[in-house]
Amino acid sequence: MNRANVLFDAPGPRGRLRNHLLTAIGLVALAAIGYFIYSKFEQKGQWQAEVWEPFIQPRVWTDFILPGLRGTLVAAGLAAVCALAFGAIFGLARLSDHAWIRVPAGVVVEVFRAIPLLLLIFFIFYVMPQLLGGGDYVLFALVAGLTLYNGSVLAEVVRAGVLAVPKGQSEAAYAIGLRKTGVLWRILLPQAVTAMMPAIVSQLVVLLKDTALGFIISYVDLLSMGFRIIPPNFRPADTLISAAIVIGAIYILLNMLLSALATWLERRSRRSKKTAAPPVAPTNIPGGLGGRPPAPAALGSE
């Protein structure tokens, strides 16, 4: 076998035998762990039909699970739209030739990337009543926290997407007389969007999972319904584990759908002939806090 992977050499016969052996050992270990969990649940009566009965009742889904799912999707949808707008604005601002735009944008992005998301949500949740008076700021605090944190990450994705476009693209555009704005909107961004789409969708997967932090501030979402509302109404000592499994399965399904979309977009972007930029990820992005980007590869100059 003379073909080599990008990350490692293809294993030979002994290497393949070793890999198969380790795989078999891993499968046996996973089966043993699974059996241990199953047996412990069996001892506690978690597999009895009455424990799972609430989740085959239509009323439980229509009154609890589906409203919770709607709350999760509403928060995720609002935060996704706001985070994309935040990321586009601050990502392009970090590419500016003007230090008075580039440096403050860099400070904002780096600060909100460094603050733990839960702390950010708590801060907004407790500060808003002090600033605006009494009211329900649960959804606002959750969406604002998700927007600031994920938007800062997306800003770096946008910046990396523009910088990923080869230098010759902008040079050719300047050679035919386009100015900086025209190069950005007509040459760089159309190609950058294709390159950064997989990373954007991957970050939206993270955003969807982070909506579960709304549980801490009593936001009515899927997690809150599954752990705070359903168990007290259906024998809390018995249904907590089954509710956790059902809610976890719904989260897994949602994230698998978004992950599949990200994988499809990545493959599509690699095959696309509409961009010369490779797919980007929010890691290993050049430039520091407010640092001047490599201008020839980004926006150039007038």
Residue 273 lies in a domain: yes
Q: Across the chain, what does the average pLDDT equal?
A: 80
Residue 242 lies in a domain: yes
Same domain, 122 and 143: yes
Residue partners of 50: CB distance under 8 A and separation at least 6:
238
Same domain, 87 and 230: yes
Domain that holds residue 20: 13-43
Residue 96 lies in a domain: yes
Residue 7 lies in a domain: no
Same domain, 226 and 285: yes
Given pLDDT bands bounded at 50, 70 and 90, which one contains residue 26? very high
Residue 64 CA to residue 66 CA, distance in Å, equals 6
Instruction: Indicate the DSSP class of residue 54.
Output: G
Same domain, 64 and 162: yes
Nearest to 205 by CA among 282, 135, 270, 138: 282
Same domain, 27 and 59: no
Residue 302 lies in a domain: no
Note the pLDDT tens digit of each residue in 164-208.
777 766 667 767 777 777 677 777 777 777 778 878 888 888 999
Same domain, 21 and 130: no
Structural domain total, the chain: 2
Residue 1 lies in a domain: no
Distances in Å between the Cα of 125 and the Cα atoms of 79, 131, 213, 229 are 15, 11, 12, 22
Same domain, 56 and 21: no
- Tokens 């040079």 belong to 171
Residue 297 CA to residue 280 CA, distance in Å, equals 15
> Which DSSP string do the residues of 74-89 spell out, in sequence order?
HHHHHHHHHHHHHHHH
pLDDT of residue 302: 41
Same domain, 169 and 197: yes
Same domain, 22 and 153: no
Same domain, 145 and 221: yes
Q: Would you state the structure tokens that stand for residue 152, as one six-digit string? A: 């800062």
Given pLDDT bands bounded at 50, 70 and 90, which one contains residue 281? low
Query: If you compute the radius of gyration of the chain from its CA atoms, what whole number of angstroms results?
Result: 24
Is residue 64 pLDDT above 80, yes or no? yes
Mean pLDDT within 99-116: 92
Residue 5 lies in a domain: no
Nearest to 109 by CA among 252, 297, 287: 287
Note the pLDDT tens digit of each residue in 212-236.
999 888 898 888 888 888 877 776 5
pLDDT of residue 98: 85
Is residue 73 pLDDT above 90, yes or no? yes
Same domain, 186 and 112: yes
Residue 280 CA to residue 151 CA, distance in Å, equals 16
Same domain, 32 and 130: no
